[in-house]
Amino acid sequence: MSGFLICLYLYSIFMGTTSRASKAPADGDRLQAPRGRPVSAQAAWRRLAALLRRRLLDGTWPAGTVLPSVRALAREFGTGKQAAALAVRALRQEGRIGGQERRRLIALQPEDACALTGKLVLLASGNPLGLQHEDGWASEIYRGIFNAAGHSGTPLIVAHGSALRTRLPLELEELPLQGVLLFGQMRIPLLRRYAQLGMPVVLVDRPLENVRIHSVSLDNVHAAADATARLIALGHRRIAFLRFIQMGLLDVDADAKERQRGYQRALREAGLDARPPRRSKAAEQGTVFNIFPTDRPGACTGIDALLAARPRFSAVVCYSTAPIPLLRHAAERANLRFPRDLSIVAFQAAWNADPFFAGPRADFERLGRKALELLQSPRRPVQQLRHPTVWHDGPSIAPPG
């Protein structure tokens, strides 16, 4: 084949965890039970099949090679004969091995398959792929990753599903991987497990602390501080911040958390009170208000509290444009208009930005490209790259009336 090959291998859900195959000692790959527990027949044959598949894929056993017998494989890898027979049977069904178990086994290349040149990259997403494409920024990140893979000739496998937020893919140890790209909602304990893999791992579009894997995300703190400083320069002194709560992670959205830090930094540098005492459950602090995935027009306690606050806020910094419809609906009910009564700054994706709203704009397609490029780096030292945003003026902001 000429050119490149991108393989989209779409998992809707992975229903299990995986453990790493033990490193090969000098005398060969032998299966070892994790933490002293015996290897079950089910686990043993799957792990042995993964090791044999890897030898067939990486050219250790090219097509036509006469392979060891089932008994010899069991002895070499330290498994029972039943586990070795099941592993060989699975590879025969895949068209990778020919011959009879009690006779010669021969390495084959499946007639309806072709070898992927180079090692694979796994793109694992914690959200279903269709839901990701409902967000323009997510589609742009995918576009950047796919384009970078195409230009570099990198074979790419995509796995997605909500189970990936808390579990490693069962097939992870079966693939000849160069590295892993992680995208979407994934919990910190799982990210720490990825950090233990013997390959580069890059977390895409999510700030990360205290986990030793690469990441590439927006320069959130600087962008939010700059946006807030621009509002202050226009004369605003009562500025609120709207942030998003990720229910899947049971925490504030990581980007929103950093943008809040930038917003508060700008307030402090201007001599304004960035941390007044708590006033309600809708606001962690008197100027920071929460948006939840379940919020609907007319039923958003965070925005209702923001508009009801006294003295009234004259401007708001939004973590994105997602809460704008809720904010607009609540403002109309309160007889408020933008920007006469309330100026709005919002983070947006550059390619489909609403020109009405001022704020930082991000090239997410370029961020996706950077993620795949970063995967070419060694695991150590860990790199956490920041992608810059570009400020856009819009009619959504004006001096306070």
Average pLDDT, the chain: 83
pLDDT of 333 over the 60 cut:
yes
Please tell me the predicted confidence (pLDDT) of residue 96: 87
Q: Is the pTM above the cut of 0.95? A: no
pLDDT, position 295: 93
- pLDDT on residue 115: 58
Q: Evaluate if residue 29 carries a pLDDT over 80.
A: no
Q: Which residues contact 121 (CB under 8 A, 6 or more apart)?
A: 149, 154, 155, 156, 157, 177, 178, 179, 180, 181, 372, 375
- What is d(CA 114, CA 4) in angstroms, rounded to the nearest whole number? 12
Q: What is the pLDDT of residue 42?
A: 55
Q: Is there a contact between 184 and 132 (Cβ–Cβ < 8 Å)?
A: yes
Q: Reply yes or no: is the peptide bond before residue 155 cis, omega within 30 of 0.
A: no
Q: Give the pLDDT of residue 337.
A: 94
One-letter amino acid identity for 237? R
Q: Which band of pLDDT confidence, cut at 50, 70 and 90, is reported for residue 326?
A: very high
How confident is the model at residue 10, as a pLDDT?
Answer: 35
Q: Give the pLDDT score at 140.
A: 92
Residues 114-162 have pLDDT tens digits of: 655 567 899 999 877 755 444 578 889 999 999 999 999 899 999 988 8
Assess contact for 321 and 346: CB atoms under 8 A. yes
| pLDDT of 376 over the 70 cut | yes
Average pLDDT over residues 78-83: 89
Structure confidence at residue 280 (pLDDT): 46
- β-partners of residue 385 are 216
Give burial (CB, 10 Å; 0-12/13-18/19+) of 250.
exposed
Split at pLDDT 50, 70, 90, the class of 338 is: very high
Contact of 76 with 37, CB cutoff 8 Å: no
Q: Which of 15-29, 116-130, 355-369 has the lowest mean pLDDT?
A: 15-29
- Give yes or no for a contact between 231 and 317, defined as CB atoms under 8 angstroms apart: yes
Is the separation of the CB atoms in 142 and 368 below 8 Å?
A: yes
Q: Tell me the domains of the chain and their CATH numbers.
A: 34-107 (1.10.10.10), 220-363+387-392 (3.40.50.2300)
Q: How far is Cα 300 from Cα 289, in angstroms, rounded to an integer?
A: 10
Q: What does the alpha-carbon distance between residue 120 and residue 139 come to, in Å, rounded to a whole number? A: 22
Q: Where are the alpha helices (DSSP H) in 211-355?
A: 220-233, 254-269, 301-308, 324-333
Q: Provide the pLDDT for residue 184.
A: 87
Query: Edge-to-edge strand order for the sheet containing 97-99?
Result: 66-67, 105-107, 97-99
Pick from 168, 172, 171, 176: nearest CA to 120? 176
Q: Which residues 6+ apart lie within 8 Å of 389 measured at CB? A: 218, 219, 223, 347, 360, 361, 362
Strands 359-362 and 390-392: antiparallel
Cβ contacts of 40-44, under 8 Å, gap ≥ 24:
41/80, 41/82, 41/83, 41/86, 44/79, 44/80, 44/83
Q: What average pLDDT does range 48-68 have in this prediction?
A: 86
